[in-house]
Structure formats: structure tokens, C-alpha cells
Structure 1
Amino acid sequence: MKKTEKKTKEVNFSNLIITDLDGKELKFDVSKTLGNHIYQTTGDLGMLEVAQTIYKKGEVELTEQVKTGLTEVVNNPQFPFLAVVKKKLLEELEG
């Protein structure tokens, strides 16, 4: 019997497309800020590695563990991003 591999996706934090209230698409590169924020605030060695990958490559493979960690980071009230960016990040993590 073959093992069933869970499919993962890559999330590109250097190219978030957000639609404003007028319907205009805006491109945000949050990779450096997100990676740096996680790097400076995490106590988890796994998330430290994720932070470095996001900072250096702009994207990360979204495993369940990474998804959970990033969702916790984004949902933290101290997370320094606008609500519209937080919303888009959470959509990317869920999608």
C-alpha cells in the first residue's frame, strides 16, 4: 500500500494581491516585515526557521505545522499589519 502524501502549497508573501474598496488591486510585499516580526518574537525553533525562509525566499511551504504557527502569529493582537493585510494572510493560509 502506498502512503498518502498530504499536498502542501507554497504561500508567496512577496506578492500579496489585495483589492481595495474601489476594486483596484494592490500588490504588497510583506515577506521581510513578516519574517523579521516572527524572528524577533518567536520562542519556537521551527518558527524561527520559517521566519528565515520567508525573509530570504519570500515564500514558504505550508505544512499543517507551519499553517498553525503562522495563523497564531497573524491572529496575535500585537501583529503589526493592517487589518486588510491580516485578512488576506489568513485567506492565503486557509486556501
Structure 2
Amino acid sequence: MGATTLLVENDWEHHARCRTEDPGLFFGPTGFESKHDRQARERAAKAVCATCPAMAACRDYALATGEAYGVWGGLGETDRRSVLAQGGGRQMTARAG
């Protein structure tokens, strides 16, 4: 019998509030974005995350997979780097895996 590959679906994605939002809110423009505009965009994205039933699972996923870009689970790029630098990613993702 050959090897079997199982695709594990992230069920939380189906419940995420960001599914109905413009991805640009969470990942920014492809071109230049001023610091002020970026901060305002990230605040708006994090406000969506704050009301999302999938926020914790999304955050844990981003930390576990090393997502480098965008706002995930209420954490921006700098936020995630800080959490991971403090070893918090391992603690948070222990619940998810």
C-alpha cells in the first residue's frame, strides 16, 4: 500500500471574520505605505480580529507556521516577532497542536 497524505483542514478559517474583509486590510498594499497609514490599517485589522471567534486559533497558527506578513489573530508582524523572541509562540501553540 502506498503512502497516504492527509490534508488537515483548519476549521477555524471557516469562522474567521476576515473572510468577508478586503485582504489588503490585513496585508497592506503592494506598494509604499507610510508609517501612519500602516499603523491605522493595522489598528483597523486588529479591531476585526478582536471580534473574531477564530482569533486564538488564527494567532496560534501564525505563530506555529512562522507567518512573516500581515495581521493574524490580532498580532501584526512586529507583535509576532516579539512574542516568538520571548518564547511565547511555543507556549501558545502547544494548545493548537
What TM-score do the two structures reach when normalised by structure 2?
0.30
Q: Which has the larger share of strand?
A: 1
Per residue, is there more helix in 1 or in 2?
A: 2
Q: Which has the larger radius of gyration?
A: 2
